[in-house]
Structure 1
Amino acid sequence: MSLPILNSQQRSQEHKGIKCVLLGNSGVGKTTQLLSLNPDTTLFVDLEAGDLAVQEWPGDTLRPATWPEFRNFAVYLAGPNPALRDDQVYSKAHYEAVCRKYGDPESLEKYDTYFIDSITVLGRLCFQWCKGQPQAFSEKTGKPDTRGAYGLHGQEMIAALTHLQHARGKNVVFVAILEERVDDFNRKLHQPQIEGSKTGLELPGIVDQVITLASLPDEEGSLRRTFICQTLNPYGYPAKDRSGRLDVFEPPHLGQLFTKIRSGSRQPVQFETQSQSQGTEK
């Protein structure tokens, strides 16, 4: 048996899914980005039960109501993790049990995108479940332990999002509300609105793309919705482009954005020279 090495040609022929976080203030139009995707190949995971903005959506929809139900959907959509024991969530045993409940997973082959709206609400479902688990109570007094609940919440959320991130060949869009806070030094900070701090801090490292949808002034001073796609942007919004194919600002159309990520030309990488670095220090 030879070492299972993939050469460059084999890797280039693989269909790679795009994992993306879509951030934005409430009401900016995050959910309506669903309408820019192909309804025949997109599964809408509606956690907010507030699909009025996309009531004309002609595609398929899932509506998880509890955290255990979402975990079942996650393993069904992304498949099992072979590294886990049979008694663990997202293991092969968990996957097989869910398949017996929901049927043949071949029905998922028609989907190439999972649009999950939103992980802000998902975090609340998860925390509500965590507050009822043994880890959320003190072993000595039996009273509720908030630190234990938040610790379990962080573990559960990261495990679920990471598992969906490994849905090879599928695009996964995590939608989240973007909130603005002021730190102790009176600086504005933008971060995802998710229960606890662990998920919001680790989420950018899980996905390929972090996109902020914001209303920015155009040349005439009128506000226009815009995708902010690169970390170094003049507004300090959260953003990240692992593909290297996006500009700082892109048109607010998720379908076109995915097309550019797959087929656009890579931006030239610019490295800071030693003289530039010394000049900055001066």
Structure 2
Amino acid sequence: MKNIISADQRLKEQRGVKGVIFGKAGIGKTSLLLTLPTKSTLFMDLEAGDLAIENWRGDTIRPQTWQDCRDFAVFIGGANPALREDQPFSNAHYEAVCKKFGNPEVLNKYETIFIDSITVAGRLCLQWCKGQPQAFSERTGKPDIRGAYGLHGQEMISWLTHLQHTRDKNIWFVGILDERSDEFNRKVFTPQIEGSKVGLELPGIVDQVITMAEIKNEEGNLSRAFINHTLNPFGYPAKDRSGRLDLLEEPHLARLMEKIKTGNRLPLIHLEPINQIENKENK
């Protein structure tokens, strides 16, 4: 059948890595851009905080509004044919953006899109949402914050999903990681993104969730590292869909992607049944 993709065809397809890297402010997330090939990387600078990479020689785009973010997303990812013509990321939206920006083939030179940051994108999105009809009560006409946040969740998830479906490019988001204490005085780490819906659904959208943090080595010295496994002793948010990354990896994006694409899959860890563990503890 024409619509069935064979295993050989699927394996030959070029597929990019989609991931998000969280870390505290100042840990060096933006500087990760320096670990990527200059000519094949496009920097989406939402933070306007490129002082750390002022000598970087790559190309940059600077969205200033939520509409800019949506326009760049459809320009990079193409149209979604399942959407109505009046919806963002539809064929009509894509054609309008191509008239605005020019021939989309200009993007063919880029293998990686580095977006700094998802935190600021969320703020731009919420600011836009607060001005939409859904953000006002139909009965009183007064602002309805629940309606604004509901729309915000829909908008952000649509934006992230559209970029995630850009099959032939690597898409990396970076964002700030907040640290707080729960009611039992335990450390809890949460992504700094407006609205709870986006933070909850983001790990299911991207392939990789990585925390960049300072880790003590055996000598007691601090060094930066990527934490990649969901089960980690630090309590950081992380996920490795590739199954090829170690718990800790050096903070170098180009080498990390090479390992994700070509490295050997790690063996699955054998876990004892819970009842056996409980029996051992009781003994």
Alignment TM class, shorter chain as reference: over 0.9
Instruction: Report the alpha carbon displacement of residue 269 of structure 1 after superposing the two structures with TM.
Output: 1.7
CA distance in 2, matches of 1:151, 1:181: 25
Residue identity in the other structure for 1:115? F
Unaligned runs of 5+ in 1: none
2:274 match: 277
1:75-108 alpha-carbon deviations (Å, 9 max, x no partner): 0011011110101110011100110111110000
1:197 match: 196
2:174 match: 175
1:267 matched to 2:266? The reply is: yes
Instruction: Report the alpha carbon displacement of residue 3 of structure 1 after superposing the two structures with TM.
Output: 4.5
What is the DSSP-based 3-state SS (H/G/I as helix, E as strand, rest coil) of the residue aligned with 1:108? Answer: helix
CA distance in 1, matches of 2:73, 2:183: 38
What is the DSSP-based 3-state SS (H/G/I as helix, E as strand, rest coil) of the residue aligned with 1:226? Answer: strand
1:115 match: 114
TM-score (norm 2): 0.96
CA distance in 2, matches of 1:125, 1:68: 9
CA distance in 1, matches of 2:200, 2:225: 24
CA distance in 2, matches of 1:192, 1:180: 9
Instruction: Report the alpha carbon displacement of residue 228 of structure 1 after superposing the two structures with TM.
Output: 0.4
Residue identity in the other structure for 2:275? Q
What is the DSSP-based 3-state SS (H/G/I as helix, E as strand, rest coil) of the residue aligned with 1:224? Answer: strand
How many residues matched? 279
CA distance in 2, matches of 1:78, 1:97: 14
What is the DSSP-based 3-state SS (H/G/I as helix, E as strand, rest coil) of the residue aligned with 1:225? Answer: strand
1:33 match: 32
Identity of aligned residues (%): 63
Instruction: Report the alpha carbon displacement of residue 219 of structure 1 after superposing the two structures with TM.
Output: 1.2
2:210 match: 211
1:85 match: 84
1:3-50 alpha-carbon deviations (Å, 9 max, x no partner): 522222222111111001011000000000000000100000000001
1:184-240 alpha-carbon deviations (Å, 9 max, x no partner): 343321111011111111101000001110001111111100110111111111111
What is the DSSP-based 3-state SS (H/G/I as helix, E as strand, rest coil) of the residue aligned with 2:211? Answer: strand
Residue identity in the other structure for 2:134? Q
CA distance in 2, matches of 1:267, 1:168: 24
CA RMSD of aligned residues (A): 1.1
